[in-house]
Amino acid sequence: MENDNKATGKKINIKALIAISVCAALIIGVCVFDFVQSRKLYSCNDIAMNTVISIKLYGPDGEKNSEAIKSEIHDIEKNLLSRYEDGSDVYRINSSEGKAVSVSPEVASIISDAIDISSDSNGMFDITVGKITELWGFGGDNPKVPSSDEINSYLPYVGSKRMKLTGNDVIPGKNQAVDLGAVGKGAACDIIRTQLEDTRTDSAIISVGGSLLLYGKRDFSIGIVNPDNDKDYMGTLKLSDTCVSTSGNYEQCFEQSGKKYHHILNASTGYPAESYLKSVTVICESGVISDALSTTCYIMGYNDSSLALLKKYKAEAVFVTNDKIVRCTDGIKDSFELSDKSFKMS
Amino acid sequence: MKKLFKKNDLIVIAVILAAALIMMIPGVINKENLTATVYVDGNIVKTINLEEVKNSYTFSPKSGTEICVENGAVYFSSAVCRDKLCIHSGKLNKNGQTAACLPERIVISISSGKNSPDMLTY
């Protein structure tokens, strides 16, 4: 009898051991599979919106999802934002000669945000500066400084207040041309985020010409480009699940008669902004807002007005001044690490 | 009372757990060298481990454009585009750097598993 009990106890132990082992193997297998899938990186590059697109996706179906993202960005350029693509929303607005144009909800939303920020910046940032941008020819083959007469002939017509947005209908003001160059890359980030939400992507980082979408909970290290050497970075930010945009005086610039001109126009003067800044990086949940605010804060400079504007939109920023002083807003200070010691923290 | 696991079983379990933990340390799985990837029209045409390059050489991913490859660096050395911005981009030798010839739709991108930013904002 005692021997029988011992034998049963042994059997139970062996059975229990097998059951525990199988369960443990299954759990570990599922965890490892899930872990490997979530870490699986697919990266690629492309050219669209006249800039470089870089995509890094973590999770399953990386190749398929990145192809869909590339295709989406080409569609955004072709159908929504391009000033030169016949049939795009922006092209139709600019050739409407004052008539109402029905645009996509995405473009209506972008214009609405841009109008708000124009108002917040007293017109220093304004998407209706398109005619003056064309005079300068930034990013084209022959950029040049326009005459003051040329600028003054269009300057009185610049102003979002003269443009009407009702629902998805846009009526541009007289002699106005819309240029969404200052918000387009951020807008693309917002649209891609919505697209990624329908996939099994764990996390992702997408660069649309330097405007970044950080998707998911993964912590990413973001290098802020060195304004004095745009192939290097001067500091890093640890961020997740947000958008990042930078505006700097090193992009799309040219020299004429020994003077350097950058592409960030103060819409209230028609000339490149002079704000004693090399660059401004803005971090915000919305790509459109981060893009618009980086331009706006660059134009406005580092002052109380810029800081109040950032606060209004729950955005954070890193300002780099001409004398290489780095100033971070309070909410981002702990995430920023200076790597180039020729810059100094404020 | 008999023990559920013998000493040898415990050693095997410990080894398996240790191996699993090591795999979870970031960077171990994706350890890789400084790599340049060249894209034309969004498609990869060449991938180069820059740390294995012994002698410099050039190659042409597209007619009229030349890319020079050195130990630890890569750059556009010749281009047919008007502005030559791709050549002015200079040498790429750090993770996250990219250079592009927009008219020719050629991109060079540098990646590495080493401790450097995931992406640059500019």
pLDDT at A201: 97
Subunit contact A45:B20, Cβ cutoff 8 A = no
Q: How far is CA A336 from CA A49, A176, A318, A331, in A?
A: 29, 40, 9, 10
Q: How far is CA A345 from CA A219, A233, A323, A338, in A?
A: 23, 15, 11, 8
Locate A295 and state its tokens. 């331009």
If one compares A24 and A308, the residue with the highest pLDDT of the two is: A308
- Strand runs labelled E in A73-219: 101-102, 164-166, 169-171, 203-208, 211-215
3-state secondary structure of A135: helix
Nearest Cβ partner for A245 among B37, B96, B121 = B121
Residues whose CB is less than 8 angstroms from the CB of residue A334 and which lie 6 or more positions away in sequence, other chains included: none
Chain B interface residues (partner A, CB cutoff 8 A): 2, 4, 20, 23-24, 29-30, 37, 39, 42, 44, 82-83, 89-92, 94, 96-100, 102, 105, 107, 109, 111, 116-122
Summarised one tens digit per residue, pLDDT across range A280-294 is 999 999 999 999 999
Locate A275 and state its tokens. 């704000």
Listed as ranges, residues in chain B with pLDDT below 50 are: 26-31
What is the rounded distance in angstroms from the CA atom of residue B49 to the CA atom of residue B17?
33
ipTM for the predicted complex: 0.86
pLDDT at B112: 82
Summarised one tens digit per residue, pLDDT across range A257-280 is 999 999 999 999 999 999 999 999
Q: Any idea what the Cα angle at residue A40 is, between residues A37 and A44, rounded to 5°?
A: 145
Subunit contact B4:A43, Cβ cutoff 8 A = no
When pLDDT is averaged across residues A185-208 and rounded to a whole number, the result is 98
The closest alpha carbon to A270, from A120, A149, A184, belongs to A149
pLDDT at B28: 46
Nearest Cβ partner for B102 among A50, A230, A233 = A50
Chain A interface residues (partner B, CB cutoff 8 A): 13, 17, 28, 32, 35, 39, 41, 43-47, 50-52, 54, 56, 70, 141, 205, 207, 210-212, 220-225, 230-233, 236, 244-246, 248, 250-251, 281
Average pLDDT, chain A: 93
What is the rounded distance in angstroms from the CA atom of residue A158 to the CA atom of residue A179?
11
Subunit contact B42:A51, Cβ cutoff 8 A = no
pLDDT at B19: 72
If one compares A308 and A10, the residue with the highest pLDDT of the two is: A308
pLDDT at A75: 97
What is the rounded distance in angstroms from the CA atom of residue A27 to the CA atom of residue A119?
56
Summarised one tens digit per residue, pLDDT across range A204-260 is 999 999 999 999 999 999 999 999 998 889 999 999 999 999 999 998 889 999 999
pLDDT at B30: 45
What is the rounded distance in angstroms from the CA atom of residue A96 to the CA atom of residue A169?
12
What is the rounded distance in angstroms from the CA atom of residue A40 to the CA atom of residue B104?
31
Choose the weakest-confidence range: A36-45, A68-77, A268-277, B18-27.
B18-27
A248 CB neighbours in chain B (<8 A) are: 122
Nearest Cβ partner for A45 among B23, B109, B117 = B109
If one compares A220 and A37, the residue with the highest pLDDT of the two is: A220
Residues whose CB is less than 8 angstroms from the CB of residue A262 and which lie 6 or more positions away in sequence, other chains included: A248, A249, A250, A251, A252, A253, A272
pLDDT at A231: 83
Subunit contact B82:A35, Cβ cutoff 8 A = no
User: Where does residue B76 fall: left (phi above 0), alpha (psi -120 to 50 degrees), or beta otherwise?
Assistant: beta
Subunit contact B111:A43, Cβ cutoff 8 A = yes
Residue with tokens 């090193």: A250
Question: Which band of pLDDT confidence, cut at 50, 70 and 90, is reported for residue A1?
Answer: low
Subunit contact B122:A251, Cβ cutoff 8 A = yes
pLDDT at A4: 58
If one compares A212 and A27, the residue with the highest pLDDT of the two is: A212
What is the rounded distance in angstroms from the CA atom of residue B4 to the CA atom of residue B15?
18
pLDDT at B111: 86
Nearest Cβ partner for A46 among B37, B42, B90 = B42
pLDDT at B26: 47
